[in-house]
Structure 1
Amino acid sequence: MSRLLSAVMQPLRKITQSLQSPNHIAPSTSLVKPELSLFTSIRTKIRCYFPRPNEVRRVRRHGWATRMSTPNGRRTIMRRILKGRYVLSH
């Protein structure tokens, strides 16, 4: 199980390290991990009137934290990375 987890997370770390550049503007909050700041800024860029009640429910069920908390969720994120999706989760 740990080999599968490392196989899924290693390309994700590599992608986040390669995508970060000196010109990247990270969010000013200190709660966001540096390696995830790029994905956080991309994911929140498309939202305009957050939070609506149904949007809160969607983010809780299908959001980044929920995806990363389970092995199947991490697999979902990795599939979307490999497919080339711009938005990885809600």
Structure 2
Amino acid sequence: MMLEYILVLSAYLLSMGIYGLITSRNMIRALMCLELILNAVNLNFITFSDFFDSRQLKGDIFSIFVIGIAAAEAAIGLAIVSSIHRNRKSTRINQSNLLNK
């Protein structure tokens, strides 16, 4: 595939993730948009690693680390969201001010 097509796809994923993260009112949707941003970063790492230096796997190794960090973020984020939902009965971002009590 051509480099431009993959970069356009990655830019589209990144812009969808940023737009969703900014406009989201639900915590679950915000976590999903954060995952979209991390997937766009992974796509760029693998594309540039393959395009510029196909013998070394530096971009692939970085993308594996980002996947691990994304998995940990999803697990911890969902645990926090489920705890907030259990206490507040809502997952809306504007209704979950934890400092007021």
Going by fraction, where is helix more abundant, 1 or 2? Answer: 2
TM-score computed with the length of structure 2 as normaliser: 0.27
Flag the structure with larger Rg: 2
TM-score computed with the length of structure 1 as normaliser: 0.29
Q: Which protein has greater RCO, CA pairs closer than 8 Å, 6+ apart? A: 1
